[in-house]
Structure 1
């Protein structure tokens, strides 16, 4: 029974976020109230706040990162971190529907265009980077504080961020393709002359 209950909670959370993102994009972030979102999602405002403690969290909460992190932990040992992250991202993106990818793009567009959302997302960005450092360090058998690990993950994170920015600017772009190409370049050494 708890499996069904957890799936229902997950569906409710996703529906609330989808309504919020859609309404923020069409009406504007400041002009949209939590009450309007609750009505659209057919839940109470208190239910919205049970899943999302702040209005900003309706956009900044990222449900994809945990899927990517789990996929990274499933990658084979003995491959470099760039190849392991490529495999993890491919596996995670393969699990997302077109509708889920569309919501992720809308979330990114909102974060990049609404100053209070950009500020609110910095904590998530930091946590994501820290988790990538920890997972990468474990993958190669080093400490997370190792400068080589931190530098490699930091550079790779920058490459991934640029791919995500390109995705938000290009409506026809495929994030999975952009990220895979970016990580392939990173793994090859990004040599410029």
Structure 2
């Protein structure tokens, strides 16, 4: 069964959303997050403030990136159900990072990810929002694992393993940002996961 192609309206909506977010992250990076208003973002993107809010309900949402969560969930769901949860989730994190930063990824896209990450690390309001998004990602991943939701112990183990993997990923992302993207992100995530499992990293 072939994948449904997006309609013209869906493509236009996606393009508008991308343009708004790109302008927002550039302004936040150049001037500082607190110094930029939603009206500034709207003016830079050539849209109304109402349009910005239609796509991004809060100013913090302008810095969040949706794509990684979808990629990670898809790869977790496609992984072998008989593999250990840490291996399934860890493998999905490495594969998603490879797609987002690999040869096929654009330099502009990688720079955008780095800028978003730096903003989240440096801005208190965004750090809090990032924690919320990490919890939401944890729940998406646990759902993708397909564990028995009627078994509280199975759900607990899945959440614990997923949380450990996401903590390792966060450590790798911080190092990647510190290195200005010069180090391979998939390698950093793999090393962080190995260190968390008791390896020498």
Say yes or no: TM over 0.5. Answer: yes
How many residues align? The count is 189
Task: For structure 2, list consecutive stretches of 5 or more residues without a partner in the other structure.
Answer: none
1:109 aligns with 2:110: no
Contact 2:94/2:190 (CA < 8 Å) preserved in 1?
yes
Superposed counterparts of 1:10-159, under 5 Å:
10-96=14-100, 97=105, 98-136=107-145, 138=146, 143=151, 145-146=153-154, 147-159=156-168
SS of the residue 2:62 aligns to: helix
- 1:174 aligns with 184
Task: For structure 1, list consecutive stretches of 5 or more residues without a partner in the other structure.
Answer: none
Contact 2:138/2:159 (CA < 8 Å) preserved in 1?
no
TM-score (norm 1): 0.83
**CA-CA distance at 1:144 after TM superposition:** 6.1
- Aligned equivalents of 1:34, 1:114: Cα separation in 2: 16
Q: Label 1:143 to 1:42 Cα distance change in 2 as closer, same or farther (>3 A).
A: farther
TM-score (norm 2): 0.80
Contact 1:86/1:180 (CA < 8 Å) preserved in 2?
yes
SS of the residue 2:33 aligns to: coil
